[in-house]
């Protein structure tokens, strides 16, 4: 893994957002199919399920982003404190 690749909490947040994008692509595919041909009951059920998954996944991704930001801030504060004169 290179230094440019996120690690730790940032990597978790990135994976969560990747999941949101994957679900969104599935939703777009089903919506396009619905516009062209219409969806049967199973297709409508799947679309509804994906929309719920997208909402939950985006909430988790936002929480992971917030946690990663807090961890970064805490690490920067700790690093500043470690480098402060007289400590």
What is residue 46's predicted lDDT score, i.e. its pLDDT?
A: 98
What is residue 83's predicted lDDT score, i.e. its pLDDT?
A: 72
CB 47 within 8 A of CB 31: yes
Query: What phi and psi, each to the nearest 5 degrees, are found at residue 7?
Result: -130, 170
Domain boundaries, the chain: 8-82
Question: pLDDT of 16-67, one tens digit each?
Answer: 999 999 999 999 999 999 999 999 999 999 999 999 999 999 999 999 999 9
What is residue 81's predicted lDDT score, i.e. its pLDDT?
A: 81
**pTM (predicted TM-score):** 0.78
Specify burial of residue 2 (Cβ count, 10 A radius: 0-12, 13-18, 19+): exposed
């Amino acid at each position: 893994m290179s230094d440019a690749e996120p690690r730790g909490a940032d990597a978790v947040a990135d994976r969560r957002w990747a999941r949101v994008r994957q679900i969104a692509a599935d939703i777009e595919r089903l919506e396009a199919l619905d516009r062209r041909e219409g969806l049967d009951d199973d297709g409508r059920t799947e679309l509804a399920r994906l929309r719920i998954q997208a909402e939950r996944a985006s909430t988790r991704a936002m929480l992971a982003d917030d946690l990663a930001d807090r961890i970064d801030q805490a690490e920067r504060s700790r690093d500043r404190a470690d480098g402060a004169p007289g400590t």
